A and B are shown apart, each in its own frame.
Chain A
């Protein structure tokens, strides 16, 4: 293990930033709690976690941390980052659309886009998976697990269909 002194990397502030922001939310919320013992305990916990995050910032940023000699700076490969970002955005959009269009339609629309974003170019495979997977999953969940996935127009037709009723 070699120890290295390093300059302050702004990226290293992201995680402590998330932690501190979460604590700020908790502190803000704890103001509204009526019972003083709840409030006090929560404030103590928040203060404790705050101290820990500050310790992390002090130790791992200013003092340098133990590395095995092959330390990499994250998020340097911009093309990969774009691909990851695109896929992430598509999944978020998929969830948003699912609420509006229903499970089957949103999956059939978004799955091919997700495959293309991650770099798959076998169009037949994309077509087959995107068409079959949502329908099979929907029927499996509804029939065997008794779980209703978000419903849209197609799902309603599928459920009302005589053939579906006869088979399942």
Chain B
């Protein structure tokens, strides 16, 4: 199972001070950059890329991989404090995290998020460490039909993100789904772009996310003096954060389940950390006795453990198969190619003259990333403690500053003024929708899942010569659709039970 001499050599490689130094540098930089709205994980990694030219191959990949995990985690800080997810992967965290902040429990929420992120990241790399070869074989079985089934399964999450009624949640989700269809199809046709070049790739997810969740929130913010609801004093507290860390371990089942979901979703090419966090959030909600949406700690644990765990999965697919599972791993793969290292099955074959080859190199990467995930905890808590002071500022000062960041962030993602305009429009949509009980997060989910479901279905149809129903000849698709049906039935029965209970209680009275 293990190549012990390679593992031994990997430990020796880690004794290099340069390798150990780049981990905290990558983490610190990416946590801060990841917290800025509009700055995606891939942007955090890209901006570090020039630095890697002067580094040796191991240090280069270590700093980029550390930045990958750090940026995903960093997005959760502003998601919790300001309902402004730094990255799309933290959109689900914003739901429960911000509700906890409003209740004066920001320190607790940050502690939970930091610990779950740290554990999720470490878990995924440990998992990959043990079962790298069989899981890459499994990931290779996933092609268009299976990815379509995963996207369909993701739609069941709408039952959880429901707003004031289930119908409104579903309507908002399908509205997002529809918006996700804008742009070029798998057949090369353009849909609803009105001739705008900027819309050929569809609505940019980051911009839409900033508009719907962050920009719309500043108008809601103005309704009260401070983010923390009146009457609740907030003081950033390190002790509360550490206490919350211990609380995370008490919810161990949720933590492990979410980390596993994250790792497996990360393994699938093109699935990504945002889908991982939504699926995991959905599963946690289905298994929770306390309703979600009002600041449930289990939601934060699920979302954060899964999005950080997806990193390990994506890296495993990239290293073992040479297929980047996400845009971020594609950039890391590019950096490896610059250094003359080609990820893929041949990476595991040692070359006598090259220390950066074979299992030694792979083990060294995995070990450094476990170390990086562990380091996320102290560094994350320290940064969060200082960062959380922001919610002591009055909302009337915060609102224009967040508006400024939203404009800059939406422009920065693609350098189009058009994107900033889209952000403003989606900000208004998000504000109006949330006022009438339609959850804006459901629109985000639709926009993420829409193009995946649509594109993969079209590609499946091409695969089966125009007959998309042939996808049901594939065993994994049948299993995934069965899980979707079971999840829907489970939700429907849960709804019925909830409706029956008050009726019985009132008849007892």
Contacts and interface: CB of A to CB of B under 8 A. Distances in A.
A19 B36 CA distance: 31
Contacts of A148: 415
A87 B178 contact: no
B407 A95 contact: yes
Interface stretch (B168-176, B258-266, B356-364): B168-176
Contact of A52 (B170, B189, B466): B170
Given A37-B466, A148-B415, A150-B411, A42 B219 contact: no
B110 interface: no
Interface in B378-417: 395-397, 399-401, 403-404, 407-408, 411-412, 415, 417
Interface stretch (B2-10, B122-130, B429-437): B429-437
B13 to A, nearest CB: 30
A59 B191 contact: no
Contacts of B340: none
Interface stretch (B53-61, B227-235, B268-276, B420-428): B420-428
B433 A114 contact: no
B47 interface: yes
Contacts of B192: 25-26, 29
B288 interface: no
Interface string A123-156: 0010001000100010001001111111000000
Contacts of A74: 435-436
Given A35-B189, A95-B407, A148-B415, A22 B178 contact: yes
A49 B401 CA distance: 37
Contacts of A80: 222-223
Contacts of A101: none
Contacts of B403: 87, 91, 114
A118 B458 CA distance: 48
A14 B408 contact: no
Contact of B432 (A18, A37, A99, A107): A18
Nearest to B406: A91
A14 B167 CA distance: 16
Interface in A66-97: 66-67, 74-75, 77, 80, 83-84, 87-88, 91-92, 94-95
Contacts of B466: 37
Contact of A88 (B170, B428, B458): B428
Contacts of B421: 92, 95
* A interface bracket (residues with beta carbon within 8 Å of B): 35 or more
Interface string B162-193: 00110110110011011101000101010110
B191 A55 contact: no
Contact of B187 (A38, A88, A94, A119): A38
Nearest to B398: A118
B178 A88 contact: no
Nearest to B165: A65
A120 interface: yes
A13 B403 CA distance: 28
Given A33-B191, A91-B403, 4 more contacts: A15-B433, A29-B192, A53-B171, A77-B223
B171 A144 contact: no
Closest 3 CB pairs of A and B: A74-B435, A114-B400, A29-B192
Interface string A17-49: 011001101100110011101100110011011
B411 A149 contact: yes
A67 B168 CA distance: 14
Given A11-B436, A16-B171, A60-B165, A87 B400 contact: yes
Nearest to A94: B407
* B interface bracket (residues with beta carbon within 8 Å of A): 35 or more
B438 interface: yes
Interface string B31-65: 00000000000010001000000000000000000
B82 to A, nearest CB: 15
B181 A45 contact: yes
A94 B45 CA distance: 30
Contact of A56 (B167, B427, B429): B167
A95 to B, nearest CB: 5
Nearest to A2: B502
B226 to A, nearest CB: 13
A4 interface: no
A145 B412 contact: yes
A20 B254 CA distance: 39
A116 to B, nearest CB: 9
Contacts of A35: 187, 189
Contacts of B218: 87
B219 A98 contact: no
B265 to A, nearest CB: 25
Contacts of B397: 115, 118, 120, 125
B404 A107 contact: yes
A105 interface: no
Contacts of B461: 37
A145 B137 CA distance: 37
A148 to B, nearest CB: 6
B412 A19 contact: no
Contacts of A149: 408, 411-412
Interface in B187-204: 187, 189, 191-192, 194
Contacts of B408: 137, 141, 149
Contacts of A60: 164-165, 167-168, 437
A73 B431 CA distance: 14
A145 B47 contact: yes
Could you say which of A1, A38, A77, A114 has the most chain B C-beta atoms within 10 Å of its C-beta? A38
Contacts of B171: 15-16, 19, 49, 52-53, 55-56
Nearest to A20: B175
Given A75-B435, A84-B222, A91-B403, A30 B191 contact: yes
A112 B178 CA distance: 38
B387 to A, nearest CB: 17
